[in-house]
Structure 1
Amino acid sequence: MSQHKVTLLLGSNLGDSEINLKVAIKLIEEKIGTVLALSEIIHSEPVEFVSNNNFCNIALILNTQFSPIKLLNIIKRIENEMGRIEDSSVTKYYTDRIIDIDIVQYGQLIFDCSKLQIPHIRHLYQREFSRKLLESIESIISLK
């Protein structure tokens, strides 16, 4: 099976956010593929909604054999397994969450359907914290 290099962005602003990220990364490695690089963890204020809970965020690059939709389905199961109840892609609004995992890039693929858009335009171009994480992870991977 062919492997695809995928960039994911993870965020958490409920409970012990750093532990939530570590648990999510462990589940990603068990269920999706080999993590090649991790960015530093950065903290950010909520975007597009109001909350007193700041986010812990991390980016990672991994290899996976799964197609974009299969990958999305596994990610949604991980989020649910960790206790995420509401999905902003369904509710159309953002709330606090124990874990959020977004597919930012999937190799050089351009993919657009009702469930998923790759690349994830907001993370690549509109959100400052995302750009910082993605720049740091790209520099890590280029050193390898």
Structure 2
Amino acid sequence: MMLNKALECSTAYLLLGGNLGDREGNLKRAIALLEEKTGKVISVSSLYETAAWGKTDQPAFLNQAIALKTGLSALQVLDHALNIEQELGRVRKDKWGERLIDIDLILFGDEIINISNKLQVPHPHMQYRKFVMEPLAEIAPDVLHPVLGETILAISRNIEDPLEVKKLIT
């Protein structure tokens, strides 16, 4: 008996960002590589610009959320994302430092995953960061956070993060 392929797929939500080089071009290349290697991109948010978070003496970031359908596990999606970062020239120096590209797995269906320091889904800090929640709310407003039990839109409206997140018109 053949299984329905759609039943084998999960929806992964990722946040992409970068603040060095051709920021928009780097995001586009990352999305193309994610689709080529990881799954079908089904939704892409607008671009959002935000001052650097955590380590503030660096250029502003561009961020973008995407949703993709994948037959891979969350850990496989993370491994592909890390490989794509490296392929695009990411060098990990400082925590919260400058980077050409950053790809974070934010949600993976309704799964709750905690594999020590390797992978935590939902992303443990997503609900505190406007630069994550605003683009995510654009493409997944009605998705429920599997731990908090609230919609992404509701969470995004209640964040106390002081950083301004500016939606860019492209």
Q: What TM-score do the two structures reach when normalised by structure 1? A: 0.89
Q: What is the match of residue 60 of structure 1?
A: 66
Q: Of 114, 120, 125, which aligns to 1:122? A: 125
What is the alpha-carbon distance in structure 1 between the residues aligned to residue 142 and residue 31 of structure 2? 17
What is the alpha-carbon distance in structure 2 between the residues aligned to residue 37 and residue 139 of structure 1? 12
Report the structure, 1 or 2, having the larger helix content. 1
Map residues 1-144 of structure 1 onto 2, 5 A cutoff.
2-86=8-92, 93-114=95-116, 115-123=118-126, 125-139=127-141
1:36 and 1:62 in contact (8 A); partners too: yes
2:41 and 2:66 in contact (8 A); partners too: yes
What is the alpha-carbon distance in structure 1 between the residues aligned to residue 56 and residue 135 of structure 2? 22
Amino acid at match of 1:85: V
Amino acid at match of 1:122: H
Larger radius of gyration: 2
Q: What is the match of residue 156 of structure 2?
A: none
1:37 and 1:140 in contact (8 A); partners too: no
What is the alpha-carbon distance in structure 2 between the residues aligned to residue 120 and residue 6 of structure 1? 12
Cα-Cα RMSD = 1.7
Gaps of 5+ in 1: none
What is the alpha-carbon distance in structure 2 between the residues aligned to residue 45 and residue 102 of structure 1? 18
What is the alpha-carbon distance in structure 2 between the residues aligned to residue 94 and residue 52 of structure 1? 10
Deviations 1:33-72 (A, max 9, x none): 1011011001001111123310010001000111111111
Q: Which gives a bigger RCO, structure 1 or 2 (Cα 8 Å, sep 6+)?
A: 1
1:128 deviation in Å?
A: 1.2
Flag as ranges the 4+ runs of structure 1 deviating above 2 A.
none
Gaps of 5+ in 2: 144-170
1:140 deviation in Å?
A: 9.7
